[in-house]
Homo-oligomer: A and B are copies of this chain.
Amino acid sequence: MEYLSLTAAQQCILQHTLQLGVETIPLEHALRRVLAEEVYSNRDHPPYDVSAMDGYAVRAADLSCTPSELTVVEDIKAGAMPMMAVLPGQCARIMTGAPIPQGADTVIRVEDTQPVGNECVQILCSALYGTDIRSRGENLRNGELVLGCGTEITPGVLGILAMVKRTEVKVRTRPRVAILSSGDELEGLYAPFDSDKIPDANSYTLMAQVQALGIEPVLLGIAQDDPIELSRYLMRGLAYDVLLISGGTSVGVYDFVRPTIEALGIQMHFWRVAIRPGHPLAFGTTPTTRVFCLPGNPVSSMVCFEQFVLPALRDMMGHTRLFRRTITARISKPMKHRAGRTELIRVTLDADEQGYQATPTGAQGSGVLLSMARAEGLLLIPNECDGLHAGASVTVQLLEGAAYQQHSGIAEGI
């Protein structure tokens, strides 16, 4: 049976992702969704020239000799319109964000001034014309395209949407995902305890991996190793956009999955990928569903999800950033590797002056889920590599939970 390379398998999957629809949702629910419309500004922002500082709005020409003394004609706060023009020898006390009065062209921050009684102020410095004024429309110009279709709604983007008063936004829908485990040996989470059974962890690791992408999946349960039962479960699963099946793809005589899948008209694109852990990975399609057959081992299943399902789900959601962030790290001990397959080693990361050092989390057996629970990243050993020496520079994919670290990364004396 042919083994695809990791990259070829990813490309095959991404060539077959589904185009889903769009929906309109309240701004309050829009974080991490992807815009399905162009967004234009409905106003100039700021709406007029405003002060960037608390201080005094002055005429720069008045500051030729330092210090200069000016008459304060008005107090202007943010949200109030100036009543007076500033004439030569005059100024206005002004707040950050308040409109610049007519005649003034420059703002002097309060730290560079000295009050003289209530109605006069000494300006202790000179300033360039226009200093500390933010111009009308500097941030957004009325009618301007501010956010394109396909933009991921981060907190900053959501702020722009609020600025242009979008209470609702059109976004890409999220795929509906179903998860199925298969195998007579499995015991469901809510099933009675049987010490001879294997608890079904895969449904829950996959559930969590899907949830981490902002999608609430449906757990279909456990299909026994019986073609009629499996067929019934698969038909339920084919009502979803994406069906994840764990277990049942190995080559043995008791595997009903392959023939049952093919009998349902699912077109299979590949059955094996040259990676470790995780090689028994299969991918198929119907006109409306993408089907991933993941390995039964929990670690293999999780690693395959990361490499194959995650980019496909992000693609369906409209994202352009499909893959986990990678960083460069060094390894402290040499690593053996047999060329011909891509290996993904679970590692923790430690920062020092030279950057990150990656250390394997211990036993790398595909049943050792604790090693995945402890991992901050997956170290990628390329397929043509025939081993890595100590100190070698490697690429590490950051896993869920590794978006945060213990140290601030800020170098400063206190």
Contact = CB atoms under 8 A, between A and B. Distances in A.
A154 B80 CA distance: 50
Given A184-B78, A253-B93, A404 B110 contact: no
Contacts of A154: 208, 373, 399-401
Interface in A146-187: 146-147, 151-165, 167, 183-186
The copy count of this chain in the complex is 2
Contacts of A397: 409
A189 B165 contact: yes
A365 B186 contact: no
Contact of A78 (B156, B163, B183): B183
Interface residues of A, number: 135
Interface string A90-127: 00010111100000000000100000000000000000
Interface string A236-276: 00000000000000111110000000000000000000000
Interface stretch (A16-24, A227-235, A325-333): A325-333
Contacts of A167: 189-190
A48 B196 contact: yes
A406 B323 contact: yes
A204 B163 CA distance: 9
A36 interface: no
A59 interface: no
Interface in A123-157: 134, 138-140, 146-147, 151-157
B370 A146 contact: yes
Interface in A311-344: 311, 314, 319-328, 342
Classify the interface of chain A: helix, strand, loop or mixed.
loop
Contacts of A45: 198-199
Interface stretch (A4-12, A63-71, A282-290): A4-12
Nearest to A407: B323
A195 interface: yes
A24 to B, nearest CB: 16
A413 B384 contact: yes
B404 A162 contact: no
Contacts of A162: 189, 199-201, 203-205
B326 A161 contact: no
Contacts of A25: none
Interface string A193-219: 101111111111111110110000000
A395 interface: yes
A88 interface: no
A372 interface: yes
A412 B342 contact: yes
19 contacts: A8-B414, A10-B410, A27-B204, A31-B208, A31-B211, A43-B195, A79-B198, A95-B254, A156-B369, A156-B370, A158-B204, A159-B204, A162-B199, A162-B205, A163-B369, A320-B406, A321-B404, A322-B404, A324-B404
Interface of A: 5-8, 10-11, 27-28, 31-32, 42-48, 52, 54, 75, 77-81, 93, 95-98, 110, 134, 138-140, 146-147, 151-165, 167, 183-186, 189-190, 193, 195-209, 211-212, 225, 250-254, 296-298, 302, 311, 314, 319-328, 342, 351, 355, 365-370, 372-375, 380, 382-384, 395, 397-414
